Amino acid sequence: MTAGAERDGASVVVLLHSLGTDAGLWADQRAELSDRFTVVTPDSRGHGRRPWAGPLSVQAWVADLHQVIAEVTDGPAHLVGLSMGGVQALAYVLAHPDRVASLVLADTFAALDPSLAEAKIESIQAAVTAEGMPAYAERYLAETLVGGVPAGRREQLRRAIAGVPAEAYLASSEVCFRADTSAGLAGITAPTLVLIGEHDRKTPRSLSEEICGGIAGAELLSIPGAGHLSNVENPQAFTGAVLNFLDRVAEHRLPEAVR
């Protein structure tokens, strides 16, 4: 995780990774954002360099993130979350609205239909149990990536997923897919940008539209040529969208309903 005190009054941007990946997911964005922001890239429990510690819950994720933010700033932070990271960001803003300056929610959801959530959990449990995490990592990337990702970046993703303890991955998937923040969307006042990969096969566009419909003034933008890991598959478009949004937040150039 990038840590340390907030530097020179720079705004804090916290980047929250997807299920199975780690802080390395944000390599492209970190390189672009670090010149202008204090960038924090925490690993979720059991992912990357963060040891697995159960039991896990949405509340535990919120507590973890609250500690991370408190270590770098006394004020609000901008949250950028992809997939599981988006679920974590939504849970956090509902618990600590005063600590969130803005939200970017990418390829994520506020709630899944319960039957779909259970089906996804059961499918993951069966695959991980039968194949083990290294083979599952290959399966996941084959099913998820839709475009040409550089070999080095793909290998980075594979190693991250393969290195997650099976117990941590399964627990994280259960908490993620069963999470439901939909009832709180109407109360979110932080400026919000929702991003969705044009060819995302994991989280259909309708889930992003549900978030936008629930948060007043939320904006929806498609990342062309990208799938579920849209920040990796089209990093230029993804990072550009985030920077443009953060610039408008800073300059108050957003619709009144978003402020």
Q: What's the pLDDT tens digit per position in 222-242?
A: 999 999 999 999 999 999 999
Domain count, the chain: 1
Structural domain boundaries enclosing 85: 12-258
**How does pLDDT run across 60-106, given as a tens digit for each residue?**
999 999 999 999 999 999 999 999 999 999 999 999 999 999 999 99
CATH number where 117 lies: 3.40.50.1820
Inter-CA distances, 175 with 73, 114, 258, Å: 28, 12, 29
Going by pLDDT thresholds of 50, 70 and 90, the confidence category of residue 133 is: very high
Task: Please tell me the predicted confidence (pLDDT) of residue 123.
Answer: 98
Q: 1 in a domain, yes or no?
A: no
Q: 7 in a domain, yes or no?
A: no
- CA distance linking residue 50 with residue 93, whole number of Å: 23
Q: Which residue has the higher pLDDT, 247 or 7?
A: 247
Q: 86 in a domain, yes or no?
A: yes
- The residue behind tokens 């300059």 is 251
Q: 134 in a domain, yes or no?
A: yes
> Per-residue pLDDT for 259 more than 50?
no
**How does pLDDT run across 143-181, given as a tens digit for each residue?**
999 978 999 999 999 999 999 999 999 999 999 999 999
Going by pLDDT thresholds of 50, 70 and 90, the confidence category of residue 8 is: low
